[in-house]
Each structure stands twice: as C-alpha cells, then as structure tokens.
Amino acid sequence: MRLNSFDALNAFAKQLERNIAGKEFKTKVIVTPSSVNEAGVVIKVSLLKTFIPADVPAAKSSRTMRIRVSVCGKAESMTGLKQAVEAIEAIDSYLLSDGLRLEKTEDWGPVKIPNSRIIQFISEEDSFFDSPDSTSVQDVQDDRIVIITFPRGGD
C-alpha cells in the first residue's frame, strides 16, 4: 500500500481521532491549515516537512514526514484545563504504543500499512501555558513532533 504525503497526513489525523478518546471529552482533530475555529481544546496536525531519506539506499523506497501535533485552545476554567491534560495524556499513551504503524481506513475498517512506523519526540523545554503564574484565561499549547515513515508512492 503506497501513499503520497497528503494522503498519509490525512490518514494519520483520522487515526488519531479514532484512537484518542477521553472519558470526559471529545476532542476534534484538525489538519492545518484550516478555517475551523473550534471553541475549547482541539488537536492540530500540521505538516512540517516531507522528504525521501537518502542515508540508506534501501530507504529510498520510503518517505518520511515530520508533523507537529498540538493540543491547543483556551483553558477558561479547571474543566478546560482537565480536558487539555486528558487529551495530552491520551496522545502520549497512544503514541507510545509498541509497534505503532500508520493506518489507512478502508470500507471494512482501519488497515495497518506495512513498512510504516510512527515515533514521537517531545521537547522538555516547552511550557504548557504562556504565563504559568497568571490566573486569567490561558491559551494552552502542548506540541510534540511525530515522525512517520511510510512506503513511497505517487511522487
């Protein structure tokens, strides 16, 4: 099963939406750029870079994407803060699953794409809030970088 980067990006966003479920929240996954302006906390999936790895000759049959996955929105109350923290914990639990592969949705359900893989990198330097000491409404921003490698096709 071969994909181009655009199809892989959308497949990943749908995969996140299927697998990130909280007990007390329903978080929308948005691929950017988007005109969607949701109230509350959302998960934004943004393509940062797509390239063919050149370091190993066998890797030339694959493509790698670097994606930013952001939990963002406004924490207007403790409920908003709780929703954001639950979304972040759900993403962490899912992205740390063993043998995580990119999935494509078929008529009968999701199918794991052979020779694909998903890994995440988290910066220890990021801050959840712009001003952690402020008591006013805060913009929540939690970013992680996800690297997806998948069989190359369509380029």
pLDDT band for 119, please (50, 70, 90 cuts): very high
- pLDDT digits 0-9 by tens, 72-83: 877 667 777 788
Which domains can be identified in the chain, with CATH numbers? 5-151 (3.30.2000)
| CB contact set of 62 (below 8 Å; sequence gap of 6+) | 52, 53, 115, 149, 150, 151, 152
In percent, the amount of the chain with pLDDT more than 70 equals 75
Residue 69 has a pLDDT of 93
pTM reported for the whole predicted model: 0.85
